[in-house]
Amino acid sequence: MQRRPFHKVLIANRGEIALRIMRTVRRLGHGVVAVYSDADQDAPHVRLADQAVRIGAPPPAQSYLNMAAIIDAAKATGADAVHPGYGFLAENEDFAIACKEAGLVFIGPSPEAIKAMGNKAGAKAIMQGAGVPCVPGYQGEDQGDEAMMREARRIGFPVMIKAVAGGGGRGMRLVTDADTFAGLLRSARSEAAAAFGDGTVILEKAIANPRHIEIQVFGDVNGNAVHLGERDCSVQRRHQKLIEEAPSPAVGPELRARMGAVAVQAVKALGYEGAGTLEFLLDGDGQFYFMEMNTRLQVEHPVTEALTGLDLVEWQLRVAAGEPLPLRQEEIRFSGHAIEVRLCSEDAEHDFMPQSGRMALWHMPSSIRVEHALDSGAEIPPYYDSMIAKLISHGATREEARARLIVGLAQAAALGVATNQAFLMSCLRHPAFAAGKATTAFIGAHRDELRAPAVDAEAIALAALLLSISHPLAHPVRSGRSLSAAFATPLRFQIGGEVRECELLRERDRFYRVTHDGADHRFEIAALEGDTLRVRHADITESARFVRDGDWLFVQYRSQTLALRDLTLAAPQSTAAAGGDGKVRAALNGRVVAVLVKPGDRVAVGQPVVTLEAMKMEHVHIAGIAGTVTTVEVADGDQVATGRIVVEIAG
C-alpha cells in the first residue's frame, strides 16, 4: 500500500462546491486554501477558507480554468493536495498531470483513467471492447460536415450530437431531421469549444423516452471497487439535470445488481481510483446502454450520501491518501429514499434563460439539507453555471421524501433574481413525477402543465399594498386613523411585463382597501416584521415574504414570486413589443459568440441573427420582424449587457 499523506488542501472550484468540500476537509483535520476570480473576491468560500488566493485575470469566466495560477497558488500557500471540485478541471488529464509534476496530491483518478474515460468516443470504444452495451452511434475521427451528415443518416433520425469532452449538457443537441442538422452541429461545436476547449463531437441514436440512470462507483489503489447504487436523473431541461433521486423508481433489485456489476467490472478493468459515475440510458423494456463515465464526484452525490449515511468527499480524501476503501460491497447499506432539486437563477417561463444580478433576499430552510454559497445582497455574476443551490430531502419512503422537499422549497426565499423555484415545485407535485413515471421527456411532455399559474387579482392587490407600505417615505403601519386615511393613493407599477394601476386607501386599525380593475380587496395587517407580512383577507390569515430594492419590490406569496417595478412617479414610456420595433436586444448579460447576419441581409421573422453565451450556455437571438438588416452593433467576443441593441432591422 502506497501512502500519500497530505495536510493542506487547495480547492480549485467556487461557490457551494468549494464550501461542501471544505466542510469535510476541515472535519478530517486538514487546512483549506481557496482560489477566487475578481467576480468572487467577497464570496463565502473566500471568507471561510484559511487562505484565499486571487487567480483572477479578465475574463472572470476563465479564472477557475487557469491551471498554472492554481498550481502557483498551492505552492505559495504550502498546500500539498488539490481537490478539483466537480467541474471541468476534475476531468482534465493535463491538470492531474500538472499537479503530480508539482508534487501535489490530486484528489481524483489518475491522468490515464481521466484520458481513457473523459473522452466520450474513447470511453464507448473501451466499454464496447469490454462487452458493455452502448448506444448505437458514430465516434469516428472524420469530423467533416459531410461525414457527420452521412453518419447521421446511417444511424437514423432523431440523433443526439454530443461533445466528446466535458458534460453538463453543453455541446449537446437533439436533431429530429436532416434539415436542421447542419445548424445544430455548428451550435454544438461552438458551445463545446467555448466550454471545454474542444469542439469534437460524437453522434448517438436518440432513444425515445428513456430513463437517465447513473451508478456511483469508487475504486482504490489496491484494485478494490464498489458501487453505491443508482441515481435517477431523468428530469432534465436543455439536457441538464434538474431533479435527481435515489433509488430509481424504475430499478428493482435484479436490475440494480446487473447494472452495479457492470459498473464495478469497468472500474476494475481500468484500475480506477477515486469517485466516478457511469451513466446509462434505460429504455422501457429494461435494457440499459452505456453513455459516458464522469471521472469525478457529481453535483447530485448528496442523494447517495443520504441513502448510505456515507461522506463521499471523505472517501475521496482517504483514497487519494492511499488508504483502502472504507467498506466492502456487502457492507454498504441503503436506507429510505432521497431527492435533490437544483435551484437555478433562470427564468423557467422564458426557455430557462439564465439570470444574473443582485439577490436582495436569500433564506434557505433548515428542515432539509441545503448546499449553497449565497447571502442576502450577493451578486450573481453572469460568468458561471446558473445553479445557485441544491436542496436535498430524505425520507423512509419516496412519498415522504417528496413531501419534505416540497415543504422545504416553499420555505425558501430567493428574491431579487428570477429562479426556477416555482417550476421545481410544479415538477414535484405533478402526478407523473409523484407516481415515479418521469422519463427524460417529462418536462417537454408536460411543459404547459408545469408553467406557473397566472397571477390572480388578490395577489396583485397584496403586492400593491406592499409596494405602498414598504416605500421609505410610507406612513408607519400602526393602529388608529391618520389624515391620510381620507384620501386614496394612486399606484402605478409594472408586473409581468404589464403596467397596472390601482388605488390604495388606508382605513382604520391596520385596515387597507386596494381597488384594482374595478374590484375592491380589503386587507388587515396582522403583523409586519422585517421581511415578513402577516395579513388577513376574506377571513384567511397568511404570510408573504418581501424585499424592497430601489424601485423594485419582490414578493413571495402562495409559492409564487412576483417582481414589481414602481412607476408611480415615473414618466410614461412607450413600449414596443419585444423585437417588434426592429431592434433586437440582448436578453441577458453575455458574450457574443456568433454574429449570423450582416448589414444588407434580408431576414424573416424568427431567423437567428446573433448568439450569446452566458452561464456556459448558448442563447440564440432572433429577428422580431421581417426586413433588411441596417446595422449590426456587436462583433464576436463582445461582452454585452441585458437590453443592449445588437442588431437593427428595417421592415
Q: pLDDT tens across 232-287, in order?
A: 999 999 889 999 999 999 999 999 999 999 999 889 988 899 999 999 999 988 99
The highest-level CATH class for domain 210-450 is alpha beta
Residue 319 backbone phi and psi in degrees, to 5: -65, -40
Domain-by-domain residue ranges, the chain?
Answer: 8-107, 142-205, 210-450, 457-566, 583-650
Which residues share a beta bridge with 213?
A: 232, 280
Residue 610's pLDDT is: 93
DSSP label at residue 307: H
Pick the CATH number of 142-205 from 2.120.10.30, 3.30.1490.20, 3.40.630.30, 3.20.20.70: 3.30.1490.20
* Cβ partners under 8 Å of residue 461, min gap 6: 502, 514, 516, 521, 523
Residue 270's pLDDT is: 86
- Model confidence pLDDT, tens digit, residues 396-427: 999 999 999 999 999 999 999 999 999 999 99
DSSP label at residue 1: -
Domain with residues 457-566, CATH architecture: 2-Layer Sandwich (3.30)
Average per-residue pLDDT for the chain: 91
pLDDT at 19 over 90: yes
CB 117 within 8 A of CB 129: no
State the Cα–Cα distance between residues 375 and 586, nearest whole angstrom. 28
State the Cα–Cα distance between residues 182 and 166, nearest whole angstrom. 22
Handedness of CA 231, 232, 237, 240 (dihedral sign): positive
Give the residue among 628, 599, 211, 612 at the shortest CA–CA distance from 440. Answer: 211
Residue 486 backbone phi and psi in degrees, to 5: -80, -10
Q: Which residues are tagged catalytic?
A: 296
Global pTM?
0.84
For helices 111-118 and 93-101, give the axis angle rounded to 10 degrees. 170
State the Cα–Cα distance between residues 93 and 99, nearest whole angstrom. 10
CB 533 within 8 A of CB 556: no
Residue 291's pLDDT is: 87
Q: Which numeric CATH code is attached to 8-107? A: 3.40.50.20
pLDDT band at 591 (very low <50, low <70, confident <90, very high): confident
Residue 571's pLDDT is: 56
State the Cα–Cα distance between residues 192 and 171, nearest whole angstrom. 4
pLDDT at 588 over 70: yes
Pick the CATH number of 583-650 from 2.130.10.10, 2.40.50.100, 3.40.50.300, 3.40.50.720: 2.40.50.100
CB 361 within 8 A of CB 376: yes
Residue 576's pLDDT is: 39
CB 598 within 8 A of CB 636: no
- Model confidence pLDDT, tens digit, residues 314-364: 999 999 999 999 999 999 999 999 999 999 999 998 889 889 999 999 999
